[in-house]
Chain A
């Protein structure tokens, strides 16, 4: 932008400004008889890299299909300035407003937002500006006028008021002349907003005590009531440092409070914090805030959190707690800045949360927060049945369906009862969004029956909706061992608008999927006709997929590229167990179960960045076309999406028990 305004447009404007004023001085406009009759600018104190709103009214003597008007800032001239002083005035452009279908002699008003470019700060350090408008010299109007390059420049300053150039203009405040005193301040810093909050279930389930027995005490916290939330946080503006990266002064936090008919909104101080298990380091335990360490302004950045009710918050919702009688709650996700980092931010655009006494923060006065309702549910107790079960499941979705999301579901369900030992394990991984595909579908089951007949092992692994490997065996006793893996790839294209072209981005997910299995099934009858048997599954389904992308643009005038570095999912879900039974008589059976099941997951971490290059023609001598050559110049580079990454490495079920079941 600086190049355009500084080296071409700016001198041109300044030149035409003074030549036109000098030669006309009538107060009439030039080409097309277009008059600026109204002008407004908000705010009058501008900040670099932040928005300014300009309202412009024009009236044309003739009907025009369109009219482009350049709007910019011009250094306020001193009283009685000399021509030399006037010629040296600084100016900077804001942008162009296009009027479509101008009707003759009818005032037309448009309002448009611009971003104040750093040029304005560079050229006008400490200066006071006024506004100028210029009819774009490249408007069609008439070819004769175009050739003449007559330009309609109006400067709204006291000096020019004497030349009547802007006397026809009335400001939005009703003052004739539309003279403003505009100052440009430094970039105040980042503006943050919490743009989206999605929870994967509207229910938080209060676990009963028996569930806690399944997990060693040091792991118990992971069985706290939890909710999984996807958050999109988007920033605008540019950091003062200019590198567009945050360095830990920003945090994301989640709080809840009960809602009821009489208390539809939570009051100041009602909020209690949720703890966060999220990224990178599960071993570090749970925090109440997530530090934002890196973020690029202007694009969506996706996080996935596991939020847990713990401590005072959990006590409040449990039986006899202060929130015991509530079932509907509000979850609030907020992005906030540390108090000592406020100077880095635009406080006009971003209001930090008010710190409250007691629990966390209070009122949200800005767009810092997103709210969503959920229910706290106490599950009904399971009915008594003569069985022993070992089951657990981990499922989660990372990312956003509008771009790229990964869904993974790993689980195992094992039962010992009077029919025998049944083991069932699954792994399901799907990609959604730009690339839609089932990357992995592993299904394994085995049963050792007390009736001996119909004992079996069944295993299948599918990818991209096709079964790749299948194993069936209907036998009472069998051992089966297998290590298996293949690499696969799936690609899809989507279009992205950047600069003035549409870029076709081809995103691919490539990687390895496989399993390690060792299944043992045994079932037999002793001499007394009592059955004994076991199902011993050892199974680790795994998947390691990365994302990559290429880009192309269907125009000779530009070429496009893409930078992508994405870990889509690197996951393993190892299961080892033994489930055995022994009938003692027709109404009693001794059962023993031993299981260890865990997940090791790293999900959706990385980014996609698209850039477009413009083809330029450079000629040494314009009349010698053979001496021309073309070259490419990057005109726009934009990170279109990024994901914060997630890791979870945890034992979900570790249990060993023996019981006698009675029919």
Chain B
């Protein structure tokens, strides 16, 4: 009987709860007000190289929450739409339903609506709108929200509408997926985490596109051909507005690709890129986007272990000699140095005593570099300063120190101490010269965050260079300046192109190549026409080869002289410079085609063939 009562009580309670929930749910449905449209602030004369484009940004926040059942979220949508000036037809655009997806019964994604579709006309060349909405969702749903997906669709004028799949694909102008996750830390504290936003915009080019392939191909190429300022203005999300000019553009493309993949547009990704797009991608790919090394060895497995077992595991993994084992060894040591007090000291002590195999010592210095914390920097400084370590390990310590994030002044001072010994005694030559080179690198890499290092290095090296008479030492000072990659040094370095020593002139030409400014290109081009030494010409050409887009003057000089150059190594460097431009510069291509007829060196012929 008692059991029946309990069941009845639960049933009634549940029923009431459900009814109340439904009533509350219905009453909290909110329509979202339209904000007035804004005028876009484009510069007059800006050329739109697409027909229609759009960008969306979604912000979402929890405004309040009911302890038991309801969570009120509010969001806003921002739209920036553009169309070309020759598009006379009014375009109707539509936001489809904003929906969130929950994972139902762990096996099925289920979509629920947050808002109704929005329709609006784009009659101007540029259109900006903002919308706000709010909605209560249930606590149960909030716990397992997967994604909030916003799709924006474009309604073409009626005369361009068909019911074909192709047209519908085209109509989907932009797809925006924001990943949110709502997770309950405890019953009363629900947090909303906004994760990385996804952005993409797919352009339409309906009038000229006849087939699915055309349409998809044109989407991709047009998107890629956008100019960076436009991308910045269109993206509008903080994470994409970074300093690097290329990065927002390329990130947009990356996310574009991902979205295409997720939405079944894989075919688009197989379309060949336009030449410009390909070049842009290639240029981007050449830029190392160095990221901090992420060691993934579990910390729990480190903190309570003794050093001998760590060292033993490190050695065993290194000796296993597979890529995975070597990565594991590196991760282990990085985590140990980062998370165990005294870890860095244990490591350098093992190196000094020889308990760490000689063959693995180089990897240990990489671990200290990647850990990069204060303790690691102190340890590296101690190695640099201590003659009980062999010269190779002292050089390894310097080369590690040049790449640690935020090098400490005390650590940098140890490099200066060693660099100041340069030229004083023969025994210290390796150490001192490496200290100079690493100081140049360190100063250049940290010039934005720690500019004092750069000015200190420049002062020290320039002062020494000024008074130096030995050509070997002059060449090394110039190389150290090259490591700073500071174009402000160009004038000083250029003056050494007149030095009597071939070696010094070669070093000056090489250094200018590490500061690839237009002015330095002119200097190098002039040097190429006046220089008599093959060695210096070779370094001049190697430096010119660092320019991704050499000037027409440079190309003309090389195209004019390559046929008469008797030295095949110099011809090889010339072929490389011409070859990189062969697809977009007719002079460069013609010069290679002509050279192909007269070239006698097999390897140069193969090289020419790789560019034509």
Interface residues of A (CB under 8 A from B): 3-4, 7-9, 65-66, 100-101, 106-112, 138, 140, 200-205, 207, 211, 374-375, 377, 379-383, 385, 391, 393, 395, 401, 411, 413, 424, 432-437, 445, 454, 456, 458, 460, 464-474, 483-497, 500-502, 506, 508, 510-512, 546-548, 550, 554-557, 564-567, 606, 614, 616-618, 625-626, 633
**Distance A100 CA – B152 CA, assembled complex (angstroms):** 11
Contact: B285 with A401, CB < 8 Å? yes
User: Which residues of chain B are near A456, meaning CB under 8 Å?
Assistant: 502-503
User: Which residues of chain A are near B56, meaning CB under 8 Å?
Assistant: none
User: Which residues of chain A are near B554, meaning CB under 8 Å?
Assistant: none
Partner of A491, one of B195, B290, B434: B290
A485 (CB) vs chain B CBs: closest residue: B362
Q: Does B524 interact with chain A (Cβ within 8 Å)?
A: no
Q: Does B89 interact with chain A (Cβ within 8 Å)?
A: no
Contact: B503 with A468, CB < 8 Å? no
Interface flags, B139-167, vs A, CB<8A=1, else 0: 00001111100000101000000011100
Contact: A100 with B153, CB < 8 Å? yes
**Distance A395 CA – B606 CA, assembled complex (angstroms):** 10
User: Which residues of chain A are near B392, meaning CB under 8 Å?
Assistant: 483-485
Q: What's the nearest-Cβ distance from chain A to residue B185, in Å? A: 11
Subset of 13 A-B contacts with CB under 8 Å: A8-B107, A108-B163, A202-B612, A377-B596, A395-B603, A424-B569, A458-B535, A470-B475, A472-B476, A490-B288, A500-B147, A512-B362, A557-B145
Q: What's the nearest-Cβ distance from chain A to residue B492, in Å? A: 18
Interface residues of B (CB under 8 A from A): 94, 96-97, 99, 103, 105-113, 117, 143-147, 153, 155, 163-165, 168, 171-172, 179, 181, 183-184, 187, 193, 195-196, 198, 254-255, 257-259, 261-262, 282, 285-294, 296, 322-324, 326-327, 330, 362-363, 365-366, 369-370, 392, 395-396, 399, 402-403, 430, 433-434, 437-438, 441, 471-472, 475-476, 479, 482-483, 501-503, 506-507, 514, 535, 566, 568-569, 596-603, 605-610, 612
Contact: A550 with B294, CB < 8 Å? yes
A546 (CB) vs chain B CBs: closest residue: B323
A469-B395, A470-B437, A474-B471 known; A548 vs B327 contact (CB < 8 Å): yes
User: Which residues of chain B are near A112, meaning CB under 8 Å?
Assistant: 165
Partner of A110, one of B168, B322, B330: B168
Q: What's the nearest-Cβ distance from chain A to residue B391, in Å? A: 9
B445 (CB) vs chain A CBs: closest residue: A466
User: Which residues of chain B are near A458, meaning CB under 8 Å?
Assistant: 475, 503, 506, 535
**Distance A460 CA – B434 CA, assembled complex (angstroms):** 11
Contact: A565 with B323, CB < 8 Å? yes
B169 (CB) vs chain A CBs: closest residue: A100
Can you add 20 more A-B contacts, CB < 8 Å, to A458-B503, A469-B430, A502-B258?
A9-B108, A65-B96, A65-B97, A101-B94, A200-B606, A201-B606, A202-B609, A380-B598, A413-B568, A445-B535, A487-B366, A488-B403, A497-B262, A502-B196, A550-B294, A554-B195, A555-B147, A556-B193, A557-B147, A625-B143
A140-B97, A436-B288, A557-B179 known; A474 vs B501 contact (CB < 8 Å): yes
Contact: A487 with B365, CB < 8 Å? yes
**Distance A381 CA – B293 CA, assembled complex (angstroms):** 52
Q: What's the nearest-Cβ distance from chain B to residue A572, in Å? A: 15
Contact: B171 with A100, CB < 8 Å? yes
A436-B287, A566-B323 known; A466 vs B483 contact (CB < 8 Å): yes
A464-B288, A474-B501 known; A393 vs B370 contact (CB < 8 Å): no
**Distance A489 CA – B370 CA, assembled complex (angstroms):** 9
Contact: A474 with B596, CB < 8 Å? no
User: Which residues of chain B are near A470, meaning CB under 8 Å?
Assistant: 433, 437, 475-476, 479
Residue among B168, B179, B261 with max Cβ neighbours from chain A (10 Å): B179
Contact: A472 with B475, CB < 8 Å? yes
User: Which residues of chain A are near B507, meaning CB under 8 Å?
Assistant: 472
A432-B285, A494-B254 known; A618 vs B603 contact (CB < 8 Å): no
Contact: A567 with B171, CB < 8 Å? no
B10 (CB) vs chain A CBs: closest residue: A623
**Distance A368 CA – B475 CA, assembled complex (angstroms):** 56
User: Which residues of chain A are near B187, meaning CB under 8 Å?
Assistant: 625-626
Contact: A138 with B288, CB < 8 Å? no
B362 (CB) vs chain A CBs: closest residue: A487
User: Which residues of chain A are near B145, meaning CB under 8 Å?
Assistant: 557
Contact: B143 with A205, CB < 8 Å? no
User: Which residues of chain B are near A495, meaning CB under 8 Å?
Assistant: 254-255, 258
User: Which residues of chain A are near B596, meaning CB under 8 Å?
Assistant: 203, 377
Contact: A547 with B607, CB < 8 Å? no
A138-B111, A393-B603 known; A506 vs B179 contact (CB < 8 Å): no
Contact: A140 with B111, CB < 8 Å? yes
B154 (CB) vs chain A CBs: closest residue: A101
User: Which residues of chain B are near A567, meaning CB under 8 Å?
Assistant: 323
Q: What's the nearest-Cβ distance from chain B to residue A213, in Å? A: 14
B473 (CB) vs chain A CBs: closest residue: A472
**Distance A65 CA – B151 CA, assembled complex (angstroms):** 11
A201-B609, A203-B608, A547-B323 known; A4 vs B362 contact (CB < 8 Å): no
Q: What's the nearest-Cβ distance from chain B to residue A492, in Å? A: 5
* The 10 A-B residue pairs with the shortest CB-CB distance in the complex, in nearest-first order: A203-B609, A556-B181, A201-B609, A546-B323, A497-B258, A487-B366, A497-B261, A548-B327, A554-B196, A472-B472
Contact: A466 with B255, CB < 8 Å? no
Contact: A508 with B293, CB < 8 Å? yes
Q: What's the nearest-Cβ distance from chain A to residue B92, in Å? A: 11
**Distance A491 CA – B566 CA, assembled complex (angstroms):** 42
Contact: B600 with A381, CB < 8 Å? yes
Contact: A380 with B291, CB < 8 Å? no
B164 (CB) vs chain A CBs: closest residue: A109
A435-B288, A618-B106 known; A486 vs B399 contact (CB < 8 Å): yes
A623 (CB) vs chain B CBs: closest residue: B14
Contact: A500 with B195, CB < 8 Å? no
User: Which residues of chain B are near A65, meaning CB under 8 Å?
Assistant: 94, 96-97, 117
A389 (CB) vs chain B CBs: closest residue: B568
User: Which residues of chain A are near B94, meaning CB under 8 Å?
Assistant: 65, 101
Partner of A207, one of B163, B503, B602: B602
**Distance A435 CA – B285 CA, assembled complex (angstroms):** 7
Q: What's the nearest-Cβ distance from chain B to residue A143, in Å? A: 8
User: Which residues of chain B are near A381, meaning CB under 8 Å?
Assistant: 600
User: Which residues of chain B are near A618, meaning CB under 8 Å?
Assistant: 106
Q: What's the nearest-Cβ distance from chain A to residue B394, in Å? A: 12
Contact: A140 with B363, CB < 8 Å? no
Contact: A506 with B291, CB < 8 Å? yes
Partner of A557, one of B181, B324, B471: B181
Contact: A617 with B165, CB < 8 Å? no
A201 (CB) vs chain B CBs: closest residue: B609
A445-B535, A510-B326 known; A401 vs B111 contact (CB < 8 Å): no
**Distance A439 CA – B203 CA, assembled complex (angstroms):** 39
Contact: A379 with B600, CB < 8 Å? yes
Q: What's the nearest-Cβ distance from chain A to residue B472, in Å? A: 4
B474 (CB) vs chain A CBs: closest residue: A472
**Distance A187 CA – B296 CA, assembled complex (angstroms):** 40
Contact: A101 with B291, CB < 8 Å? no
Contact: B288 with A492, CB < 8 Å? yes
B266 (CB) vs chain A CBs: closest residue: A497
Q: What's the nearest-Cβ distance from chain B to residue A177, in Å? A: 22
User: Which residues of chain A are near B430, meaning CB under 8 Å?
Assistant: 469
User: Which residues of chain B are near A107, meaning CB under 8 Å?
Assistant: 163
Q: What's the nearest-Cβ distance from chain A to residue B97, in Å? A: 6
User: Which residues of chain B are near A385, meaning CB under 8 Å?
Assistant: 566
A499 (CB) vs chain B CBs: closest residue: B262
A490-B288, A554-B195 known; A8 vs B108 contact (CB < 8 Å): yes
**Distance A413 CA – B434 CA, assembled complex (angstroms):** 28
Partner of B605, one of A377, A512, A616: A377
Q: What's the nearest-Cβ distance from chain B to residue A393, in Å? A: 5
Contact: B434 with A616, CB < 8 Å? no
User: Which residues of chain B are near A497, meaning CB under 8 Å?
Assistant: 257-259, 261-262
User: Which residues of chain A are near B471, meaning CB under 8 Å?
Assistant: 472, 474
Q: What's the nearest-Cβ distance from chain A to residue B56, in Å? A: 16
